[in-house]
Structure 1
Amino acid sequence: MRSIQPPPVLVRRALRVVWPLLALTITILGLPVLVAGALASVVDRRARLFRATSLLILVVWLDVQLLIGCWRLRLADPRGASPSWYPDHEQLLSDVLDKAMALGRKWVGFEVRLDDVMDLGDPGKPLIAFARHAGPADSLAVAWLLSRTGGRLPRIVLADALRWDPGIDLILTRLGSSFVPSASGAGDDRLAGVRRLADSLARKDALLLFPEGENWTPSRRGLLITRLREAGQHARARQAERLRNVLPPKTKGAIATLSARPDADVMIVAHAGMGRLTGAREIYAAIPFERPFLVHTWTYPAETVPHEPAAIESWLSARWAEIDAWVERQGE
């Protein structure tokens, strides 16, 4: 995802117009596959092709619903100056997240569970959440959980390649989320958006970041260890070797965020159950999922979190070791 460049502005605008027609085309092309999947379910009792195709088509139309919802809000408030402009978009996104999670449960058994009470911190302070990145739809699940469990729909830092999705692009742009430039983007300050989001957090806001930068997979872990050794970063290579289920966290974003908002409580988010589903083949073979997406959180009051760069690095590394140990105990 990080290697994919975002569409130019004119292409983004064009996608917002033609996306319903493209969705209709995808649906028509998917109908024969859907029929084949229904017939194949006689042999494949798990009905994987039927389930996966049905979910894909429904999610495409859910994205169209998101886009049309944004159009309606613009028509109702052309200047975007109403006091309800931001809350209305939050409600739209929350409703679509609810529907997406319901579809995931119904069609492929994607069920999110908490293994303990989620502490959202002081309700009078903003919350910064650092989450593990692994498995299918983990960012969606964590964002939904923060929204529905604690009423804190998070602002998200995500790859700017996701601007190819017109619904996501439009609503998250309006909500002020940060689309991080790809690593190859010459001259781009990849932390500018993170700092902007941190600075703008109100007392009931949440900011969600994934410090690993990309989904954990065995191959990425191995390549990272090799690169670190070749670069002479032996201490960091040893850290990566000790972590079996996560990648070492990249700390620049965390440092920028915590330095900007020393008043924010911090949540660490671990999850297990689907982290080993690292590719399309593994995901497809596991449908319907038999294990839940199990989530565990640790919340730290602002005054207990360090804010000096070196101390943040050590603190976050320790937290990621705890995530790794917790995932290991779940038998993932």
Structure 2
Amino acid sequence: MKGIGAPPRIVRWLLRLLWPVIAIVVTVICVPLLPVAALLSLVDRRARLFRAVGLILITVWLDLQLHLGCWRLWLTERGSPTWHGDHEKLLVDVLDTVLRVGRKWVNFEVVLDNTMDFGEPDRPLLAFARHAGPADSLAVAWLLSRTAGRLPRIVLADALRWDPGIDLILTRLGSSFVPSLSGAGDDRLTGVRRLADSLAPKDALLIFPEGENWTPERRARLIDRLRERGQAARLRQAEGLRRVLPPKTNGVIATLTARPDADVMVIAHAGLGNLTGPRALYDAIPFDRPFLVHTWTYAASTVPREPEAIGAWLADRWAEIDAWVSAHE
């Protein structure tokens, strides 16, 4: 996403109008492929092509359901006191369906490695998660909403505004789209601070501090850049982490300093992190291992709030994630 910026406002509006047409075009292309893929399943007993085409179709129509649901609420519920809650219900219902379909079609199953502790019920929760593998952000958001009863506000790349369903509903729910392109400066933190300041006691904020999905190639490129720039301390950190990228501290510092009252959850996951490209993803269908999740929760009083201390604390947490993932991936 780093090289893709958000669409201009006029393009966003055109996408919102044209999305049903795009969904129909994708359907017209994919439906004839289904019987062909079904026949090929006689050769490929894992039915990978059939599962992949079917999953594409279902995903497109679930995204359209999200998109049309937002328009329906705009037409019927504007100004209603249930406006925010209705959008939360729409998103959670679609996430439920996505996870249920993913389990049936490609054996994508979320499994907890330990009991999740969501901190004190009268405090907001800041969740910092590993970023790797397919659909990890959806799985973590769904897990927080269904297990904790806290639909998280999410900090995500503004390139995702190219999807009008995600753009509409997450904008209305108050998530923050940070600039995907480099050179954005403090603009990346403005929305993060706004979200942190606005958290109610039962709210959660979800951040992926690595900023992009881990892959071996990204890790190698990052190490090369750090070596060229002579950033010795960060280079040592990057070389010591095998299964995660070094976390970026600015967003974490912004949230922790803005909300000293918030408890903190650190989220690791393993099982599908090695699926780092379309070919690897296709070859692994249906998945033979679950999306395994492990969490650590820290009371607000135990988490540092000074920027330098936060950086050291976050580095220690990511070293723990790396060790856990290395043992379970």
The TM-score normalised by the length of structure 1 is 0.97
1:319 to 305, 317, 320: 317
1:20 aligns with 2:25: no
Match of 1:217 in 2: 215
Which SS does the other structure have where 2:95 is aligned?
helix
Q: Is the 8 A contact 2:304 2:313 kept in 1?
A: yes
For residues 179 and 234 of structure 2, the distance between their equivalents in structure 1, rounded to whole angstroms, comes to: 25
Deviation at 1:185, TM superposition (A): 5.1
Q: Is the 8 A contact 1:262 1:307 kept in 2?
A: yes
1:297 to 276, 295, 298: 295
For residues 198 and 56 of structure 2, the distance between their equivalents in structure 1, rounded to whole angstroms, comes to: 35
1:46 aligns with 2:46: yes
Q: Is the 8 A contact 2:152 2:206 kept in 1?
A: yes
| 1:175–1:274 CA distance, 2 compared to 1 (3 A) | same
| 1:76–1:200 CA distance, 2 compared to 1 (3 A) | same
1:127 to 105, 108, 125: 125
Deviation at 1:77, TM superposition (A): 2.5
Structure 1 counterpart of 2:42, one-letter code: V
Deviation at 1:314, TM superposition (A): 0.2
For residues 185 and 248 of structure 2, the distance between their equivalents in structure 1, rounded to whole angstroms, comes to: 20
Match of 1:82 in 2: 80
Match of 1:157 in 2: 155
Residues 25-174 of structure 1 mapped to structure 2, 5 A cutoff: 25-78=25-78, 81-174=79-172
Q: Is the 8 A contact 1:195 1:257 kept in 2?
A: yes
For residues 188 and 266 of structure 1, the distance between their equivalents in structure 2, rounded to whole angstroms, comes to: 24
Q: Is the 8 A contact 1:158 1:178 kept in 2?
A: yes
For residues 2 and 83 of structure 2, the distance between their equivalents in structure 1, rounded to whole angstroms, comes to: 31
For residues 187 and 198 of structure 1, the distance between their equivalents in structure 2, rounded to whole angstroms, comes to: 19
Cα deviation digits, residues 55-113 of structure 1 (max 9, x gap): 111010001111111111111123xx221111110011000000000111011110000
Which SS does the other structure have where 1:208 is aligned?
strand
Structure 2 counterpart of 1:26, one-letter code: V
For residues 94 and 77 of structure 1, the distance between their equivalents in structure 2, rounded to whole angstroms, comes to: 18
Deviation at 1:182, TM superposition (A): 1.8
Q: Is the 8 A contact 1:181 1:188 kept in 2?
A: no
CA RMSD of aligned residues (A): 1.0
Structure 2 counterpart of 1:4, one-letter code: I
Match of 1:265 in 2: 263
Match of 1:197 in 2: 195
Match of 1:279 in 2: 277
Q: Is the 8 A contact 1:129 1:208 kept in 2?
A: yes
For residues 183 and 23 of structure 1, the distance between their equivalents in structure 2, rounded to whole angstroms, comes to: 28
Which SS does the other structure have where 2:187 is aligned?
coil
Match of 1:228 in 2: 226
Structure 2 counterpart of 1:104, one-letter code: G
Structure 1 counterpart of 2:7, one-letter code: P
Which blocks of at least 5 consecutive residues in structure 2 are unaligned? Answer: none
Deviation at 1:188, TM superposition (A): 6.1
Compare 3-12 and 167-176 and name the one that shifted more: 3-12
Which SS does the other structure have where 1:266 is aligned?
strand
For residues 250 and 310 of structure 2, the distance between their equivalents in structure 1, rounded to whole angstroms, comes to: 10
Q: Is the 8 A contact 2:5 2:181 kept in 1?
A: no
Which SS does the other structure have where 2:319 is aligned?
helix
Q: Is the 8 A contact 1:246 1:320 kept in 2?
A: yes
For residues 179 and 51 of structure 1, the distance between their equivalents in structure 2, rounded to whole angstroms, comes to: 32
For residues 201 and 64 of structure 2, the distance between their equivalents in structure 1, rounded to whole angstroms, comes to: 32
Identical-residue share of aligned pairs (%): 71
For residues 43 and 182 of structure 1, the distance between their equivalents in structure 2, rounded to whole angstroms, comes to: 42
Cα deviation digits, residues 283-310 of structure 1 (max 9, x gap): 0000000000000000000000000000
For residues 150 and 197 of structure 1, the distance between their equivalents in structure 2, rounded to whole angstroms, comes to: 19
Deviation at 1:327, TM superposition (A): 0.7
Q: Is the 8 A contact 1:48 1:288 kept in 2?
A: yes
Q: Is the 8 A contact 1:110 1:289 kept in 2?
A: yes
For residues 137 and 152 of structure 1, the distance between their equivalents in structure 2, rounded to whole angstroms, comes to: 19
For residues 178 and 272 of structure 2, the distance between their equivalents in structure 1, rounded to whole angstroms, comes to: 25
Deviation at 1:32, TM superposition (A): 2.4
For residues 314 and 275 of structure 1, the distance between their equivalents in structure 2, rounded to whole angstroms, comes to: 25
Which SS does the other structure have where 1:184 is aligned?
coil
For residues 309 and 82 of structure 1, the distance between their equivalents in structure 2, rounded to whole angstroms, comes to: 41
Q: Is the 8 A contact 2:4 2:181 kept in 1?
A: no
Equivalent residue pairs, number: 329
Which blocks of at least 5 consecutive residues in structure 1 are unaligned? Answer: none
Residues 2-21 of structure 1 mapped to structure 2, 5 A cutoff: 2-21=2-21
